[in-house]
């Protein structure tokens, strides 16, 4: 983990209200794992006072070396709105890489990835990472769900990696008009995967966890909680364990990637 002020390499619109920001970072990020995140703070801004968590979306490589990271973010409030105004050459303050990412044992070959909305942010890094590990991506599937076609992110990039991409929108403006978990249910009955990795809204994650349990498939989900520090100091990211001990896990240290069966969600 490193705390540094980093230069903005680009900050481009990726369709309203989404942006991609490239940050020139320390070489520490060459060992970042998919699912890990950074806590970002704008410099010389009192609002927002607290850092904001963002998943690592991609590593920026040059000549085989990691030069930085890219974040994919949605403008939802004051912090992300101000972030969207950052320009190339500006500096932001980040702490990272933080948290525990997705675990990818060598015996996982048929992989299902389920992404809801902006939840695709860490999953694209995961897909690129699988490719680096020489996993045959043609045997892997991505289930990409969004409210509408304008909220579908990374669909071309994921299919360029060689994965089969199933698209679902709530309004039917692209792909199937259904929940992404409906599409997952259909596929899992025909072709049981070795693992499911998911990130998205909590209700989607609960449903993915249920489907995985029913079909006895290992599952890892990346959850979002409010995070004030990202390093275990504020206890703001506590999530209750499922074992009825009344004990809590911390999304910033123990996660944000969890086995859903360890959580009371």
Ligand X SMILES: Cc1cc2nc3c(=O)[nH]c(=O)nc-3n(C[C@H](O)[C@H](O)[C@H](O)COP(=O)(O)OP(=O)(O)OC[C@H]3O[C@@H](n4cnc5c(N)ncnc54)[C@H](O)[C@@H]3O)c2cc1C
| Sites of contact with ligand X (CB under 6 A) | 37, 48, 52-55, 71-74, 76-80, 118, 121, 224-227, 256
CB 43 within 8 A of CB 92: yes
Return all residues near 209 (Cβ < 8 A) that are at least 6 apart.
219, 221, 260, 261, 265
- From 2-10, 133-141, 197-205, 225-233, span contacting ligand FES (CB under 6 A): 225-233
Closest approach of ligand FES to the CB of residue 227, in Å: 4
Q: What per-residue string of b and e applies to 187-206 under the rule 16 or more CB within 10 Å gives b?
A: bbeeeebebbbbbbeeebbe
Of 218, 179, 176, residue with least CA distance to 201: 179
Q: Which residue is nearest to ligand X, using beta carbons?
A: 77
Q: Which does 80 bind (CB under 5 to 8 A by kind): ligand X, ligand FES, none?
A: ligand X
> Nearer to ligand FES by C-beta: 55 or 207?
55
Tell me how crowded residue 26 is: count the other CB atoms within 10 A of its CB: 16
Interface pattern 20-39 for ligand FES (x via CB under 6 A): --------------------
* Helix runs in the chain, H state only: 78-84, 120-132, 155-160, 180-190, 202-214
CB of 164 to ligand X, least distance (A): 24
Count of residues engaged in binding ligand FES, rule: CB under 6 A: 12
Q: How far is the CB of 207 from ligand X (least distance, A)?
A: 18
- Partner whose binding site includes residue 76, from ligand FES, ligand X, none (CB under 5 to 8 Å by kind): ligand X
Question: Is residue 227 within the footprint of ligand FES (CB under 6 A)?
Answer: yes
**Closer residue to ligand FES (CB): 199 or 227:** 227
73 binding partner (options ligand FES, ligand X, none; Cβ < 5 to 8 Å by kind) = ligand X
């Amino acid at each position: 983990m490193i705390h540094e002020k980093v230069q903005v390499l680009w900050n481009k619109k990726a369709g309203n209200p989404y942006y991609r920001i490239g940050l020139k970072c320390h070489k520490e990020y060459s060992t970042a794992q998919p699912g890990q995140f950074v806590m970002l703070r704008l410099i010389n801004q009192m609002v927002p006072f607290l850092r904001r968590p963002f998943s690592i979306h991609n590593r920026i490589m040059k000549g085989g070396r990691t030069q930085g990271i890219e974040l994919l973010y949605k403008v939802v409030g004051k912090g992300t709105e101000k972030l969207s105004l950052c320009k190339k050459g500006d500096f932001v303050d980040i702490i990272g890489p933080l948290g525990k990412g997705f675990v990818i044992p060598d015996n996982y070959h048929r992989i299902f990835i389920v992404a809801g909305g902006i939840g695709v942010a860490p999953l694209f890094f995961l897909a690129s990472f699988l490719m680096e590990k020489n996993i045959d991506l043609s045997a892997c599937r991505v289930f990409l769900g969004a409210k509408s076609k304008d909220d579908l992110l990374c669909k071309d990039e994921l299919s360029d990696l060689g994965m089969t991409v199933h698209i679902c929108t709530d309004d039917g403006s692209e792909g199937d008009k259904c929940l992404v978990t409906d599409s997952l249910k259909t596929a899992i009955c025909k072709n049981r995967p070795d693992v499911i990795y998911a990130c998205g809204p909590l209700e989607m994650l609960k449903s993915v966890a249920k489907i995985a349990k029913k079909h006895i498939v290992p599952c890892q989900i990346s959850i979002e909680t409010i995070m004030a520090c990202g390093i275990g100091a504020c206890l703001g990211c506590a999530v209750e364990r499922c074992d009825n001990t009344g004990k809590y896990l911390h999304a910033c240290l123990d996660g944000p990637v969890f086995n859903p069966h360890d959580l009371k969600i």
